[in-house]
Structure 1
Amino acid sequence: MGRLTGKVAFITGAARGQGRAEAVRLAAEGADIIAIDIAGNPSAYVKYPEATQDELDETAKLVEEQGRGALVRQADVRDLAALEAVVRDGVARFGRLDIVVANAGIVNYGRTWEITEEQWQDLIDINLTGVWKTVKATVPTLIEQGQGGSIIITSSVAGLKGLPFLAHYASSKHGVVGLAKTLANELGEHDIRVNTVHPHGVRTGMTDGSMQEYLEQSPLLGPLYMGTLPYQVVEPEDIANMVAFLASDEGKYITGAQMRVDLGALNR
Structure 2
Amino acid sequence: MGRLEGKVAYITGGARGMGAELARTFAAEGADIVISDICENIDTVRYDLGTKDELEAVAEEVRSLGRRCVAEVADVRSQKQLDAVTAKALQDFGKIDIVCANAGIHGVAKFTTMTEQQWDDLLGVNLTGIWKTAKSTAPSMIERQSGCFIITASVSAREPLPEYAHYTTAKHGVIGLARSLGVELGPDNVRVNTILPGPIDTYLNDNPVNRDWAAGFKGATTEDMHAAIRNWHNLRGRGALPAKAVANAALYLASDEAEHVHGAELVVDAGHLLLPGFNHSPVQPEGYPRRPNEGYNPYAD
TM over 0.5: yes
Tell me the distance in 2 between the aligned counterparts of 1:113 and 1:267: 31
**Native 8 Å contact 1:196 1:258 kept in 2:** yes
**Native 8 Å contact 1:27 1:63 kept in 2:** yes
Q: CA deviation at 1:92?
A: 1.0
Per-residue CA deviations over 1:37-93 (Å, capped at 9, x if unaligned) read 00110x212111221111000110111111100000011001111111111111111
Q: CA deviation at 1:112?
A: 2.3
**Native 8 Å contact 1:39 1:50 kept in 2:** yes
**Structure 2 counterparts to residues 1-268 of structure 1, below 5 A:** 1-41=1-41, 43-146=42-145, 148-207=146-205, 208-209=209-210, 211-212=213-214, 226-230=232-236, 231-268=238-275
Per-residue CA deviations over 1:136-176 (Å, capped at 9, x if unaligned) read 00000100122x11100000011111122211111111101
**Native 8 Å contact 1:104 1:127 kept in 2:** yes
Counting aligned pairs with the same residue, the percent is 43
Provide the aligned C-alpha RMSD in A.
1.8
Tell me the distance in 1 between the aligned counterparts of 2:49 and 2:97: 29
Q: CA deviation at 1:213?
A: 7.2
**Native 8 Å contact 1:165 1:214 kept in 2:** no
Per-residue CA deviations over 1:95-137 (Å, capped at 9, x if unaligned) read 1110000000100111222211111111001110001000000
SS at match of 2:112: helix
Per-residue CA deviations over 1:17-43 (Å, capped at 9, x if unaligned) read 0000001111111110111000110x2
**Native 8 Å contact 1:157 1:262 kept in 2:** yes
Q: CA deviation at 1:205?
A: 1.1
Q: CA deviation at 1:214?
A: 6.3
Tell me the distance in 2 between the aligned counterparts of 1:183 and 1:214: 38
Specify the code of the residue in structure 1 equivalent to 2:112: W
- Report the TM-score, using the length of structure 2 for normalisation: 0.83
Tell me the distance in 2 between the aligned counterparts of 1:88 and 1:29: 24
Tell me the distance in 2 between the aligned counterparts of 1:79 and 1:183: 20
When you count helix as a share of all residues, which structure comes out higher?
A: 1
Tell me the distance in 1 between the aligned counterparts of 2:135 and 2:217: 38
Determine which structure has greater relative contact order: mean sequence separation of CA pairs < 8 Å that are 6+ residues apart, divided by chain length. 1
Tell me the distance in 2 between the aligned counterparts of 1:212 and 1:242: 25
Tell me the distance in 2 between the aligned counterparts of 1:82 and 1:44: 20
Specify the code of the residue in structure 2 equivalent to 1:103: N
Tell me the distance in 1 between the aligned counterparts of 2:273 and 2:214: 20
SS at match of 2:148: strand
SS at match of 1:113: coil
- Report the TM-score, using the length of structure 1 for normalisation: 0.93
Tell me the distance in 2 between the aligned counterparts of 1:94 and 1:113: 48
SS at match of 1:232: coil
Q: CA deviation at 1:245?
A: 0.6
SS at match of 1:112: coil
Q: CA deviation at 1:215?
A: 8.7
Tell me the distance in 2 between the aligned counterparts of 1:163 and 1:264: 17
Matched residue, 2:284: none
Specify the code of the residue in structure 1 equivalent to 2:17: G
Structure 2 gap ranges (5+): 219-227, 276-301
Structure 1 gap ranges (5+): 217-221
Matched residue, 1:219: none
Number of equivalenced pairs: 261
Q: CA deviation at 1:4?
A: 0.7
Q: CA deviation at 1:253?
A: 1.2
